[in-house]
Amino acid sequence: MEIRQLEAFAAVYSAGSVTSAARMLDRSQPVVSRQVQDLEHELGFTLFTRTRPQVTLTDQGRQFYEEVHNVLAGLQQLDVRTREIARGRPRPLRIAATFSLASTLVSAVIGRLERTTPVFQDKMSIANMHSVDVVRTVADGQADIGLATLPMDLGRCQLLWSGQAPCSVALPQDHPLARCATVKIAELGDNTVITMTNKSGLRHRVSTALLQNSVGSKMRRHIEASTYLNGLMLVRAGVGIALVDPFSAADLVPQGVVFRPIDTHVPYMMGVVTHRDRVLDPEGQRFVEAMWDYAVECIPRFVPGEPNGLPIIEDPFEPVATSGPE
């Protein structure tokens, strides 16, 4: 199995045809076709279903691509790092984080450190992705530190620290419920509910409970948003109300939007992970510690998480008032 064969396979999949892949790789079409055929012969299974002019992956081809993608990404990273070593440049600090945590916790901590001692010498990279991809990226060695929502199968990663705080609800500033110190789910009425597309975990199960207007009644209108920022913009536009994580509520405050606690405890749990077989350099360790300090100081009702990465279901704080104006 040769690298050029893997490159040809990945290019055919990305381009959708052998002809386009050949142009992408600057190789002749017969060469690319032969490299893919030779690879299939060595593997012992078919990679593509050929329906001219397009090709599609077989089930085995799709599984194989997941592995090939990691290998080629690692080789690309190795090439970049080799050039940096040749120029005497230190290794960049690589962060992988969910869209919410990258926009809030990561950005806020970098800003805090920049005012004292910068966290990185020469280069830092921040990649935004879903939690499962955060863990996979760290496990594959393509990021040094990952920030993901929990619980999560960590695989080859280890949990450095975790914590949780309750979610709140985002409302238009002129919404009648914005006058309440705490919003009761039972008082949401016919408001359209905006939730995130994350389908896993307690947070999703409770957020979907917001959709039920009352026992035996029809479901509330529902919008799924891919990011919290998208959800908050919909709230600002007066479309509906949204369940928001505590980091976004603390750092993303669009004009015309207010955040209120709700009378049901909805824990949002996140954690910081690294590869269990790699040791963070001093820059990375300092960044991890600074993120913990920031969360403890700036996120309301933030508490340390359990070592197993599971949220504390019961509210660890005293109940707050559930009605009345601020």
pLDDT at residue 160 in the model: 96
In this prediction, residues 140-161 reach a mean pLDDT of 91
Q: In this prediction, what percent of the chain has a pLDDT beyond 70? A: 87
C-alpha 289: how far from chain center: 20
Which stretch of 42-56, 268-282, 297-311 has the lowest confidence by average pLDDT? 42-56
pLDDT at residue 206 in the model: 63
Task: Kindly report the CATH number that applies to the domain delimited by 166-266.
Answer: 3.40.190.10
User: What is the rounded distance in angstroms from the CA atom of residue 100 to the CA atom of residue 97?
Assistant: 8
pLDDT at residue 213 in the model: 67
User: What is the rounded distance in angstroms from the CA atom of residue 94 to the CA atom of residue 97?
Assistant: 10
Per-residue pLDDT tens digits for 3-24:
889 889 988 888 888 888 898 8
Task: Kindly report the CATH number that applies to the domain delimited by 3-86.
Answer: 1.10.10.10
pLDDT at residue 287 in the model: 95
Q: In this prediction, what percent of the chain has a pLDDT beyond 90? A: 44
Architecture of domain 93-165+268-304: 3-Layer(aba) Sandwich (3.40)
Per-residue pLDDT tens digits for 55-96:
888 999 888 888 887 777 777 766 765 766 666 666 788 999
Residue 105 in tokens: 């916790």
Per-residue pLDDT tens digits for 210-264:
776 665 667 788 898 888 888 999 999 999 999 889 999 999 888 999 999 998 8
In this prediction, residues 304-318 reach a mean pLDDT of 81
pLDDT for residue 202 is more than 60: no
Q: Where in the chain is the domain with CATH 3.40.190.10?
A: 93-165+268-304, 166-266
pLDDT at residue 162 in the model: 95
Which residue has better confidence, 217 or 202?
Answer: 217
Average pLDDT, the chain: 85
Q: Where in the chain is the domain with CATH 1.10.10.10?
A: 3-86
User: What is the rounded distance in angstroms from the CA atom of residue 32 to the CA atom of residue 118?
Assistant: 47
pLDDT at residue 323 in the model: 44
pLDDT for residue 326 is more than 50: no
In sequence order, the β-bridge partners of residue 244 are 168
Q: Is 144 left (phi over 0), alpha (psi -120 to 50) or beta?
A: alpha
